[in-house]
Structures are given as structure tokens and as C-alpha cells.
Chains A and B, each alone.
Chain A
């Protein structure tokens, strides 16, 4: 964290090309949802993804990232998207649907077949690794 670098090198930018949710991150933090960021959006992103950000804030943005269709709920389709991105589509459709079922089974508090922000926060704030993995450093 100590160096005063103002220009990103090519490698540093290249280094974040592997994140399966990179497009989602860009979309969530851009103002009009198309993935083009202004400086403020960019700052916004890093303030959320920094190590010091409060965890409720992180949970809120994580929810938005995993909410692929922007309907303020994580539904089964969003979950499928997430699994497919995480595994690069190496799981069969039955497996994917089984996983989604399980996730909904575990985390859906009000049994409406989708995860609301509250369900998500309730689940994610108990995860032991969430805070340590949901941040970016350059």
C-alpha cells in the first residue's frame, strides 16, 4: 500500500482480467449500468473494494454484483449465472440446478424462492472468508 503510483502498468491492469465477475463489477459501479466508468465511479469501486470499507457496505455491493438482472433479488437465474461463471461452465445443468436449489434452501429466509438483500446479508456476514476475499489491492 505504500507506493505512490499514479499510472497503472499494463501488468497491473492485466492482473484483474481473471475475475469472473469483472463485467458485473464494472456494471454495478458505472452510473448508467453499461460498464463505462467515470472517475467518481472508479473511486467508488475502490472505496468499496478496499480493505477498510465497512462490511455492510461490502455486503450491499456484493449483492448488487451477484444480482445479474438488477431486479433487487437474487433469483435462481442469477444463481445459475454465478455458478457458471465460477466454474467456467464445467458443471452439467443438473449439477448447477442442484447447487442453486441448495443455496436457496440454505439462505432463503422467507421462502419466497429468491434471495432478498436481507437474506443475503444475513448469510454473507456470517461467512468467515467474505471480508478477507472481497477486496482488491493493487
Chain B
């Protein structure tokens, strides 16, 4: 593990370091340029003549010493070009060349210490001829006498090395070679990066390089730290290796959900609950913050608290507790305004994060265009999940691969026949009919139960069951309907991945129907309470009026205010809604846990231990172990989140409870899966279903936004509870803030903006923008497809070209080595000829003098043109030809470097 990590880290670090350096080099280059622009005068006048003397002497000897090695290299290069087909041998020569290169490096480094001055000139020679020689390492340790050309050359070599470092990761080399090359390149870069800066700039440059290095290291450490900070990564990987990626996708989704809820929790707690607790009026000061006299006795009983009545109801967890003071505390914190804005931003943040993660999921799958024409290849080469590390899962995987191969064969063979199509269609229609019946039945059942519960709520002393009937029925439906659907879905005979989507869709419809029936019934309840509100308001007024004006009290002493517990109060429908959602969430959580405990754990225990004394094989036979129910769990999570979104406006504490729920269910479900579930019989991958989850989540978010927006916009708030009491509508709080706290012209602007005459054109504009962007994206995708086609055509042309060439080369090489007259081999030959010719030419012209300098520069060119061909074994000949044009610098530098001194 640590080995792997280190190797990765080194590689990754090398890569990023190289990149970062080359990035910082740009600045370093610029800073360095100012001195180097001035230098040419000095360089040309003073040091060059001094060096010229020994250089000239050496020149006679250097070609002799240089040429055998070069010829050797050429021969090798040609061999590689010819034997392009035998990669295995090429690998060997590759390794051989590396050794060779290192050997030459060492050999050159040793003498250079003894006779630096002389050797330096000679080596400069070689460098120009060799494409990128590593012998530079020894040539220029004494810095001042570097000319501009040398600097430029070093710079280019440094660039090359950096590129090498950056692309090291994607080279298919063995690790030893990678390490060696990396070290060499890093040493080189480290050595010369500092040497490039001169004088004053040098220290600054070195400092900057140091800082860049530190920064890269810090970034890498930070990245490692971030990876380590991802919670439950190990748990999820563990599950992934046992159950495949589909089960793990549920846990990843759960983790993501936990993160979102943490943010919402921070928002609500930080901006609403904590200010209220710290700065708001304390408990018992006003009627809405006090338990009424009638409930006081039982207010602390556990059974009452468990139903979120009593003290729970009159706490900061619910809407009713908040006061309608405009500002609270010494900070003059505008709590009603904050409450409203937090409620809005909870939805805003959730929408944003869901859409963003959907978009980022989409970005990963750009290449998913025409992948359907590779069915068999994909099955063969990518169906094995290398992550599987469990023999049971592996067995299942083998079986599933076999069946999938068989299925595709059958599909392929019978794609035209389709004999059973009528039966399949009939079965599918039947299944859908049955499922629709189930959905309608469950919807009616919930409606019936909710109506009944409204009657119960009017009666006195109802039993526990009657009070919680709605929650129990809903949970039971949620527990029993999905397995029923699954049984029915077996009729349809879909592929499990498609089946999973159908199943998800159906359960989604079930939950949605249930939720909306529940909401409609709740809405009825709210209307009832609202109609009663007027009378209660009058009663309250009258009570207070009588209390203060009643006779029998000493008129001179002012009466103490009525105790808040005695004040009659309204029903506060907002808190009632909040309590309903709170109860639903808690009961849902409990039902989930109990289902897991009974359905999975106890079943697993029973099967495991009763198997010793049972008449049939329990593990293979009827009860068996449970599979992890992905669709049910995902949908449970999504709907739970929908309830949180709906309820969080009326019960700010709901998100806190949800965070706890997600935290516990992460650990509990991880444990349950690992301890008592078995992998799916047909292991399948979770390909792209993640976005499917997100789509469902977005739908639920939208659907849960609707009722909340409706209640905020069109129902009057209760008169005696909550932060908006006394106002006509809840959103009036914005208007109030704008009028009182902002300057008047802002208020006018807001009034102007709210004008329908402005809003309707804005909406129109948005529609137009959507239309426009949509058409743009369509045309872009069309262009994309065309480009892809073009690339494919190019590929084909290239391939046919290459195969023709390859055949020609093969024929040629079969004849003899000398007879090669057409292709690559010819090129190599020519290169060789040119090379040696240019060598002697340059020397001669050097000796001749200034007049021939430009032609000398030209003749140097073929040498450098040739070398890439011989150096890179895998490069195609045409690319080798194209290369020198890509480096025009070399020819010019050659021209300038060898301008004879005057």
C-alpha cells in the first residue's frame, strides 16, 4: 500500500513539479531577459576570443572522437527503423541505449574536471551535433562566460527535460527507467535553472525557484491531506470490492447527501437557531414560548416529548417559538428577515448543488456517443471488474459475464426473429397494470387514513395507534410495496439495469403519490385551522380585555400581566406542519433501521445458525440471505430528503435530526451490508445511474418546493406564533425591510422591479435565452459529430497509407540493406550521408572564415534533421522529417554559435 502510494506520489509529484516549474519558468525567463539582452556585447568581445585558441586546436580532434559513436547510433537507429515490427527487440535496444547514454555521461564527466577549459569547447561541439545530450551536466559549471546562445540552448534543454518530467507518467516504461530518467532530468533542471539567472537576478531567481518548489510540495501534501479527509473512503472501497460498484454508488450518494445536509444545517443553525437562543426572549417570557397551562402537567413525559409535543413543541426547533420582533439583541439582528432568507437559500443552495453535480457528472461522459457498436468488444475487454476482491463476488461475476455473453449471442442471432415478442409485451402490459392498481390502492389507503386521523384528532383520549396511524400506514406501505413491485417486475424480464430503473420509477411514483396525498390531507387540516383562527383571535382579545377590566381588583395598583401560560392561543398551523414532518422523519428512520435489523440481520443469523439443524439447505434454498436493495434505499434517501426540504421551513430543527440520521445510517448500513447481505446474483455496474439518482433528487426537490412556496405565498401566517405573525403574508417581511432599512430610492427600485410589466418580459427573455442556447448546443454537437467523422476518415487514410508503406518497407528489407531506394531506409541513409558531409563541410568553412558562415549554418541543419530519426525508434519517418521545421531555432542558433570570432 505505502509502496504504491509512494510510487504514485513520486510520479505525481514529478509531474506536477515539472509543470509548475515550466509555468514559473515563464516569469523567470522574463526576469532573466533583461541582463541577457545586454550581454551579447560582452560575450562577443571579451571571452570568445580567449576561448577561441584552444577551441581551434581541439576541433581537429573532435570529429574523430565523435563520429564512431554517432555511427553506432545511426546503425542502431536504422536497425530500429527496419525492425519496427519487432517491438520486443526494440525494447532491449532501448534499454541498451540507456545504459550506453549513462556510460557516456560518466565517461565525459570524469575528464572534465581535469581539463575543464579544453573539454568545454569540445563538448559544446558535441552538444550541437547531438540532439539533446546529457553531457551538458558537466560542461558549464563556471557560469560567467556563458554566451547568449549557450544560455538559449541550455534553456531549451531545460524545457525538454521539463517536458519529459511532465509526461513521465504517461510513458510505458518500467519503473527503474522512469526513476533513472526522472532523476537525471531533475538533476539537470535543478542545476541549470539556477545557473540561468545571473548577477542580481540570480538570487531572486533561485529564491523564486525555491518558493515554487515549496509551493508544489505544499500543494501535493495538501492534496494528500484532502484525500485522507474524505470521510468513509475506506468503508466504501471495502464495500465496493465486495459488492461491486452499484452498491457502492448508494453509499457514495449517501455521503454526498450528508455533505449537503451539513451545509444546510450550518446555514439554519448559524443564522436562525443560535441567534434566537442567544439573543431572543427566553423561554416563558411570552405566550408563544410557554407551554399552556392545560398541557403543563404532561409536558415533560417521554411519550409526549416523543410525539414532539410539550416542551419540544415550544422550543426553537419549531416555527411557532420565534417572535415577531423586528430586531433582537444588542446586535439588532433582524431575525424574521433572516428566517425568511434562510428558508429561501436552503432551496437555492440545494438546487444549485444538485444541478452542479449533475452537470459535472455529464461532463465526464462526453465520449459516450456511439458506443453501441462495440458491444462484444466492451464485454470482452471491460466487463471484468478488476476491483473485485472477494471470491463470492468473483463467482457471481463469472456467471454474469457468461450469461451476458450468451444473451448477446442470442440477441445477435435472434435480432430479426423476435418470436416471443407478443408474450413479452403482454406480460409487460399486465405488470404495469398490476402496479398501477397497487399505486392507486395505496394512494386511496393513505387518503382514507389521513381523513380518519382528522376525526381522531377531534376526539378525546385516542390510543397510541390511532394517533400514529398515518405514519404507520405510510411506513408499512413503503416497506411492503417495493418487494411487491419487484415480484411483479419479474414478469417483465428486463435486463437488471433497465429493471432497476423501472423499479426506481415505480417506487418513486408510489412515494410521490403517498406524499402528495398526505400533503393534500394536511392542507385540508390547515384550511380548517385557518378558518378557526378568527374566532380564537377574538377569544384571546376578549380574555385579555376582561382580565384587565374586570372588577374586584384594586384600581390603584396596576394588575400584573396575565401569566403567559394562561393566555388562550391559536392552533399555529405552521408548527403543526413542522411536527408532522418531524414525526414522519423519525418514524421513517426507525422503520428503516428495524427493517434492516429484522429483515437482514435476524434473517442472516437464522439462516446461518439454523442451517445446522434444518431439513433443507437454508443458505441455498428458500430464505437465503438478503441482497442489498439499492433502489429502495436510494429512493428512501431521496424522499427523506424531500421531506426535509419541505419541513425545514416550519421546523428548523429538522435538518439537525436529519444529519444525525444520515450519520447513523451510514455506519449502521455499512455494518449491515458487510455482515448480513450477499452480493447480487447478477452483478451489474452502476453505469451512469448516478445521474439518474440526481435527476430524481432534482424532481423531488422541485416537488417539495411547490407546497412550501404555495404556503408562503398564499396562506396567511398565524396571528400569535412565528416570526411573521401579524403580517398579512410571510413575504411581507421583505417589503418591510426594504421600506424601513434601505434608503427610499432603493425601495422605489424594488417596487419597480416587482412590477408585472417588468417580470413578464424578463421571463420571456429567459425563455428566448434557453431556446437560443439550446439551438447553439445542438449545432455544436452536430459539428462535433462531423469533426469526429473527419478524424475517423483521416485515421483510415493514414492507416492505409501506413500499411502500404509498411508493406513496401518489408519488401525492401527482404531484398538487401543496400538496395533500399524508396522509403524510410533511404531517408536514414541520406541522413547519414548528409551528416558526415556536413561535418567536414562545417569544419572547412570554419577554417575558411566569415564569408561562409551562413552556408555553414545551413549545412549544420541536416545533421540535426537526421538525429531525431535515429534517436526515436517509434517515430514514423514522416514525423521525423517534419521535426526540424518544428525547431527552427536550432538552425539559427547553429548559425550564430559558429560565427567565427574576429
Contact = CB atoms under 8 A, between A and B. Distances in A.
Interface of A: 1-6, 8, 12, 15-21, 31, 39-44, 46-47, 49-50, 52-54, 56-57, 60-62, 66, 70, 72, 79, 82-83, 86-88, 90-91, 95, 98-99, 102-103, 106-107, 109-110, 112, 118, 120, 122-130, 132-138
Contact of A46 (B7, B412, B687): B7
A117 to B, nearest CB: 9
B569 to A, nearest CB: 54
Contacts of B172: 57, 60-61
Given A2-B227, A6-B2, 15 more contacts: A1-B234, A6-B1, A6-B3, A31-B174, A40-B174, A50-B8, A86-B401, A95-B409, A110-B800, A110-B803, A133-B384, A133-B385, A134-B382, A137-B241, A137-B387
B645 to A, nearest CB: 31
Contacts of A60: 172
A129 B8 contact: no
A132 B329 CA distance: 55
Contacts of B85: 72
Contacts of A109: 795-796, 799
Contact of A86 (B241, B378, B384): B384
B137 to A, nearest CB: 24
Contacts of A118: 799
23 contacts: A1-B234, A2-B228, A2-B233, A15-B390, A19-B388, A40-B175, A43-B4, A46-B4, A50-B4, A54-B169, A57-B170, A66-B381, A72-B85, A72-B88, A82-B381, A98-B412, A103-B377, A103-B380, A109-B799, A110-B803, A127-B381, A128-B371, A133-B383
Given A5-B1, A44-B175, A110-B803, A129 B388 contact: no
B391 interface: yes
Nearest to A98: B409
Contacts of A99: 376, 380, 405, 409
A74 to B, nearest CB: 9
B640 interface: no
B415 to A, nearest CB: 12
Interface string B231-242: 001100100010
Contacts of B387: 133, 135-137
B165 to A, nearest CB: 15
Given A15-B390, A40-B176, A86 B406 contact: no
B233 A102 contact: no
Contacts of B402: 86-88, 90-91
B394 interface: yes
Contacts of B365: 128
B7 A47 contact: yes
Contacts, number: 189
Q: Is the interface of B mostly helix, strand, loop or mixed?
A: helix
Nearest to A12: B389
B367 interface: yes
A106 B2 CA distance: 41
A62 B381 contact: yes
Contacts of A79: 380
Nearest to B234: A2
Given A47-B11, A106-B377, A138-B4, A54 B170 contact: yes
Interface of B: 1-5, 7-8, 11-12, 85, 87-88, 169-172, 174-176, 179, 227-228, 233-234, 237, 241, 245, 365, 367-368, 371, 373-378, 380-391, 393-394, 398, 401-402, 405-406, 409, 412, 685, 687-688, 795-796, 799-800, 803
Given A40-B176, A54-B170, A5 B391 contact: no
B799 A110 contact: yes
A18 B386 contact: no
Contact of A1 (B87, B227, B373, B394): B227
Contacts of A39: 3
A15 B241 contact: yes
Nearest to B413: A98
Most chain A beta-carbon neighbours within 10 Å: one of B375, B376, B391, B799: B376
Most chain B beta-carbon neighbours within 10 Å: one of A6, A19, A79: A19
Contact of A128 (B175, B688, B799): B688
A99 B237 CA distance: 33
A120 B390 CA distance: 29
The 4 closest A-B pairs by CB, nearest first: A15-B389, A18-B394, A46-B4, A44-B175
Contact of A91 (B2, B382, B406): B406
B169 A53 contact: yes
B1 to A, nearest CB: 4
Given A19-B386, A31-B174, A83 B380 contact: yes
Most chain A beta-carbon neighbours within 10 Å: one of B85, B241, B380, B385: B380
Most chain B beta-carbon neighbours within 10 Å: one of A2, A21, A57, A109: A2
Contacts of A124: 377, 381-382
Most chain B beta-carbon neighbours within 10 Å: one of A46, A66, A70: A46
Contact of B377 (A31, A107, A134): A107
A87 to B, nearest CB: 4
